[in-house]
Amino acid sequence: MSELPRTLDETLIELNQAVTRAIEDGQTRLQVTIKIPGIDILPVVQSLVAELTAPQAVVFTDPGAAALARRTLGAVDYDLRGISELLRSGLDYNAFVLLEPGAVEVEAVEKLASAIPGKPLLLLNSHLEEGGMVGIGLAGRQLRQRFLSTFKTVYAIQPLDAGAVYRCYPRRWQLWREVEGDYVLAAELDQQPSGEEIDNAFNPRGEGLLDGLRRFLRALGN
């Protein structure tokens, strides 16, 4: 049984192992989600890029953020580019890391993914599925969901009030419950856990919040 990483160093080691294993297994569209409060994302990026075949591009949705990163990091062995600039000026890289793309960038991400078949494209802390589908119609939503489903989450760690969600490829998704300041494994799943599955895992000795709410609503309807 795996253990939940306790430090940033442990997290980065496992992250790199997961990404390397996924690429070796032929995965090219990857997602990484690290939602640790207060984390500086640039060390995560630097650690990730070191595992990818050069030349690599770290891609920002905002060109201003790319310029700021260039000033912050100074001389590095990879390029820091805005996504619009990258799509205009060329894609002569072997691997791409895209930072925190939002729903409004879905079309640009689709263009990038289509232009680099067979090359690793890694989405770091993506928000592509969080809204952004109003007014595009059912067919458009289905196409967008189909595109997003082509990305595999190879690493995820997200602390919650009662525990944490964790996944390290190729292992299954895990739910860890906090008990007296430590973490115990509460559940393992083949897919990313839903809110109901999280609630059930973190409330094992009685009905969860969602179960109680459903009972309350049924009572109102009687």
What's residue 140's pLDDT?
66
Instruction: Calculate the CA 159 to chain-centre distance.
Output: 14
Are the CB atoms for 58 and 97 separated by under 8 Å? yes
pTM of the model: 0.86
Query: Quick check: is 24 in a domain?
Result: yes
Query: Quick check: is 168 in a domain?
Result: no
Q: What is the mean pLDDT of the chain?
A: 87
Query: Quick check: is 142 in a domain?
Result: yes
What's residue 215's pLDDT?
46
Q: For the chain, how many structural domains are there in total?
A: 1
What's residue 141's pLDDT?
74
Residue 71 one-letter amino acid? R
Query: Quick check: is 217 in a domain?
Result: no
Q: What percent of the chain has pLDDT over 70?
A: 86
Residues 6+ apart with CB under 8 A from 216: none
Can you tell me the distance from the alpha carbon of 41 to that of 46, in angstroms, rounded to the nearest whole number?
A: 9
Q: What is the pLDDT of residues 109-154, one digit of tens each?
A: 999 999 999 999 999 999 988 765 555 667 667 778 888 999 999 9
Q: What is the pLDDT of residues 138-148, one digit of tens each?
A: 766 777 888 89
Query: Quick check: is 29 in a domain?
Result: yes
Considering only CA atoms, which of 145, 104, 144, 148 is closest in space to residue 123? Answer: 148
Query: Quick check: is 47 in a domain?
Result: yes
Query: Quick check: is 110 in a domain?
Result: yes
Query: Quick check: is 139 in a domain?
Result: yes
